[in-house]
Amino acid sequence: MTASGTFGVGDAGIVENTGTLYLDGATVNALKIGTLTASTGGTINYNLAGAQTVFPGNYYNLILSGSGEKTYAGARAVSYDMTIGSGVTANLDNTITVSGGLKLGTTWKSASSWGFTGSSAANINTTYFSTGTGKVVNALSHTSTTTTITTTYTPSSSNDEETTTTTTTTTTTTTPAMNTIAGCGARTTGFSSSTGASCVGNTGTATTTPAATVIPGCGNRNTGFSSSSGVSCVGNSVGASSAYNYNFGSAVLKNGSRGEAVMELQRFLNAKLNLNLVVDGMLGPKTIAVIKTWQAANALVADGLVGPATKAKMNAQ
């Protein structure tokens, strides 16, 4: 079917199976979203020899042919394949997500993203794309492989002629796309946190850094045992920052203080200074002397009082 000029369909207009609808009007404006469906196998071909505005909908197979610039607005989807013919340029203002393959001219392109200069596409192409900052993201790579099989007939008599039959078989293989959009992590919605580009079509995965294994009371050691819990230090990440938050309580700790908060202070000093203090919850003058030395080394008032500033500095280490 070929539609020239104005083309209208009813509420159930369908192009299906292997059917193709050719649209060669300069502007396709008689269609409404939901009124024309290119169902499984159906193809819509914009084939005007000149500029065309592509109807802003979703398609099954989409072909832009003829010649001139084809303007396609909005973030749209093509359920299977998209082709941009020779002599045609696509002007896109957003991302076209193609679940199948992308053919530029006569060449199937690898699974990736494609667009004009200034787009966020991984592959810049000024032959088939123009002006717009949008891009096409194709999920599959179509690779055509041709195999020739030759069968020779052996004559059974002098009257028979030798014949050769050649069969050509074309197979298509597909590989998943890897189109990582920087700043999108594993998201396929929203926008990139680094470039502001749409995350539609992103196939990246969030990069995670394995957490360091820090054993409280082992400091920078990966041998021996924790001074605070007694567990083995084997497997402790040397030089890693501990995620352990010491609970020093709300009261100011000083000479003569007792209780669980003092035990946490003793655990801290054992872990950070590799001391062998008995974790008994009693704060005496020898420990106060150690605290004053530590305060001086950390640009704090060396008064031996463990208040808010000292506690914060301790938990920052």
Is residue 138 within 8 A of residue 102, CB to CB? The reply is yes
Write the single-letter amino acid at 156: S
Which residues neighbour 215 within 8 Å (Cβ) at sequence distance 6 or greater? 226, 229, 231, 232, 233, 235, 236
Q: Locate tokens 């293989």: which residue? A: 173
* Long-range contacts of 49-55, Cβ-Cβ distance < 8 Å, separation of 24 or more: 49/24, 50/26, 51/26, 52/23, 52/25, 52/26, 52/27, 52/28, 53/26, 53/27, 53/28, 53/29, 54/28, 55/23, 55/28, 55/29, 55/31
Distance CA(264)–CA(85), nearest Å, equals 73
What phi and psi values does residue 149 have, to the nearest 5 degrees?
A: -115, 125
The model scores a pTM over 0.85: no
Nearest to 184 by CA among 103, 80, 113: 113
* pLDDT of the residue at 61: 81
Low-confidence residues in the chain, pLDDT < 70: 1-42, 57, 74-75, 143-180, 192-196, 204-212, 227-228, 238-244
What are the tokens at 42? 């159906």
Nearest to 213 by CA among 231, 236, 230, 194: 236
Residue 113, burial from CB neighbour count under 10 angstroms (0-12, 13-18, 19+): buried
Residue 22, burial from CB neighbour count under 10 angstroms (0-12, 13-18, 19+): middle
Is residue 167 within 8 A of residue 148, CB to CB? The reply is yes
Distance CA(134)–CA(115), nearest Å, equals 6
Taking domain 257-316, whether its CATH number is 3.30.1240 is answered by no
Domain ranges of the chain: 7-136, 257-316
* pLDDT of the residue at 4: 47
Distance CA(216)–CA(227), nearest Å, equals 8
Distance CA(91)–CA(113), nearest Å, equals 15
* pLDDT of the residue at 19: 56
* pLDDT of the residue at 37: 47
* pLDDT of the residue at 6: 45
